[in-house]
């Protein structure tokens, strides 16, 4: 067991990549706190994950909620060994018809929310802890109609490098996992079913592996970055994208 006795926080742990990672962490012996905004899926995830999981309803983009959550988390968990800042949203921002409020909410959730989650967690972190941000290939490749999202994920990568430099003195490692096209509910929230079929088709064409990815494949990369197996890995961006050669 790679995470026996470790305590982990996974934001957005009630769905998609976050939920798959929570499952894997628990299999590997960790206690896991998951967060999200949707009470029903949080309860469902908590019962699926079993006794070593605890679900908390909180919004990473709401500073008051975040502060209250960390007070509760400290009471329940005491300390943390791993933070997976995974919660994120998409949102189209086409030139000529961009919605400024949507643009700002993407940055607020994906950048500000992720940053302050990690900052709030630092006092709870034991020396030698591991922080993993969820980035995206969009942060490097861009994507038409996705300026806010791409900017947010490039921001995540930049933040990770800053935090790695700040926290290395405590042997805290900060890395980024950057998935390619992974089938999760985020696509349903952002695109029509026809658009999703097109994106997945393009992703298969652009990927040397000829397929889209699965949440478990991202979770395994997060486990590597969270565990001692990556003890000398600092400030990297690990792509889990099947070697994709462009933007789908
Ligand atoms: P999901 O939509 O399944 O998961 C997103 C998670 O984030 C949900 O658990 C959601 O919970 C949570 N979340 C969103 N906004 C907030 C918020 N304000 N406060 C707290 N929780 C929030 O999609 P994925 O699993 O695909 O996404 C996870 C991460 O992976 C994201 O950061 C995404 O950008 C990244 N990613 C995904 C890719 C893919 O192809 N799927 C590719 C590249 C990166 P709730 O709705 O209950 O709040």
Mutation probe of ligand 1 site: the residue of 184, 196, 200, 204 with most atoms within 8 A of C-beta:
184
Q: Residue 218: how many CA atoms within 13 Å on its side-chain side?
A: 31
- The CATH number assigned to the domain holding 166 equals 3.40.50.720
Q: What are phi and psi of 170, to 5 degrees?
A: -100, 15
- Look at residue 202 and tell me if it is in a domain: no
Q: Is 197's pLDDT higher than 90?
A: yes
Q: What is the mean pLDDT of residues 77-86?
A: 99
Q: What is the spatial distance between Cα 11 and Cα 164, in angstroms, rounded to a whole number? A: 19
61 lies in a domain? yes
Q: Average of pLDDT values for 103-128?
A: 98
Nearest Cα residue to 136 out of 115, 157, 121: 157
* Helices 16-27, 215-226: crossing angle, 10 deg rounding: 50
Q: How many domains does the chain contain in total? A: 1
182-192 pLDDT tens trace: 999 998 888 89
Indicate whether 11 pLDDT > 90: yes
Domain annotation covers residue 246 = no
- Quote the domain boundaries for residue 87: 7-182+218-236
**Ligand 1 touching residue 105 (CB < 6 A):** no
Task: Judge contact between 235 and 160, C-beta under 8 A.
Answer: yes
- What's the whole-number mean pLDDT along residues 222-231? 98
Give burial (CB, 10 Å; 0-12/13-18/19+) of 246: exposed
pLDDT for 100-110, tens place per residue?
999 999 999 99
> Closest ligand 1 atom, CA of 186?
2
210 part of a folded domain: no
Q: Mean of the pLDDT values across residues 88-104?
A: 94
Which H or E run includes 84? strand 80-85
Phi, psi (deg, nearest 5) at residue 215: -55, -35
**Which residues is 49 bridged to in the sheet?**
none
- Overall size of the chain counted in residues: 248
Please answer whether residues 92 and 190 qualify as being in contact, where contact means their C-beta atoms are separated by less than 8 angstroms: yes
Asked whether residue 49 is assigned to any structural domain, the reply reads yes
Alpha-carbon span 30 to 166, nearest angstrom: 26
User: 78: closest CA among 24, 123, 132?
Assistant: 123
Output the residue whose Cα is nearest ligand 1's atom 31.
88
- Has residue 190 been placed in a domain? no
**Each residue's pLDDT tens digit, 29-74:** 999 999 999 999 999 999 999 999 999 999 999 999 999 999 999 9
| Rounded percentage of the chain residues whose pLDDT exceeds 90 | 95
Residue 87 within any structural domain of the chain: yes
**For range 83-88, the mean pLDDT:** 98
Q: Tell me the per-residue pLDDT of 129-146, one tens digit each, with 9 for 90 and over.
A: 999 999 999 999 999 999
Question: How far apart (Å, rounded) are the C-alpha atoms in residues 83 and 77?
Answer: 13
Confidence grade of residue 6 (pLDDT, cut at 50, 70, 90): very high
Q: What pLDDT, on the 0 to 100 scale, is given for residue 169?
A: 98
Query: What is the pLDDT, as a whole number, of residue 189?
Result: 86
Take atom 33 of ligand 1 and give the residue whose Cα is closest: 88
The verdict on the CB of residue 43 being under 6 Å from ligand 1 is: no
N- to C-terminal Cα separation, the chain: 37
Residue with tokens 């969009």: 138
Q: What mean pLDDT is predicted for residues 186-208?
A: 93
Mean pLDDT for 157-161 is 98
Q: Residue 95 burial by CB count (10 A; 0-12/13-18/19+): exposed, middle or buried?
A: exposed
Beta pairing partners, 36: 57
Whether residue 209 is contained in a domain is answered as: no
Amino acid 191: pLDDT: 85
- Is residue 225 predicted with pLDDT exceeding 90? yes
Residue 95, helix vs strand vs coil: coil
ipTM score of complex: 0.99
Tokens of residue 237, six digits: 């961006």
- Report residue 207 as tokens: 């990927």
């Amino acid at each position: 067991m790679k995470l026996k006795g470790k305590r982990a926080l996974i934001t957005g742990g009630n769905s998609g990549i976050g939920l798959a990672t929570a499952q894997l962490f628990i299999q590997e012996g960790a206690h896991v706190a998951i967060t999200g905004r949707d009470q029903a899926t949080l309860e469902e995830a908590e019962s699926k994950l079993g006794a070593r999981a605890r679900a908390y309803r909180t919004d990473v983009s709401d500073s008051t909620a975040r502060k209250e959550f960390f007070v509760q988390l400290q009471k329940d968990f005491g300390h943390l060994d791993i933070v997976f800042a995974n919660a994120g949203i998409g949102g189209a921002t086409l030139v000529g018809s961009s919605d400024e409020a949507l643009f700002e909410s993407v940055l607020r959730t994906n950048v500000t929310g992720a940053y302050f989650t990690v900052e709030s967690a630092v006092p709870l972190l034991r020396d030698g802890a591991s922080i993993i941000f969820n980035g995206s290939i969009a942060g490097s490749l861009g994507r038409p109609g996705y300026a806010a999202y791409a900017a947010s994920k490039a921001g995540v990568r930049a933040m990770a490098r800053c935090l790695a430099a700040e926290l290395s003195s405590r042997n805290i490692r900060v890395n980024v996992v950057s998935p390619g096209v992974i089938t999760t509910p985020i696509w349903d929230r952002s695109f029509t079913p026809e658009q999703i079929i097109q994106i997945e088709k393009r992703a298969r064409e652009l990927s040397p592996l000829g397929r889209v990815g699965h949440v478990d494949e991202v979770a395994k990369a997060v486990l590597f970055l969270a565990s001692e197996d990556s003890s000398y890995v600092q400030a990297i961006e690990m792509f889990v994208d099947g070697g994709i050669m462009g933007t789908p």
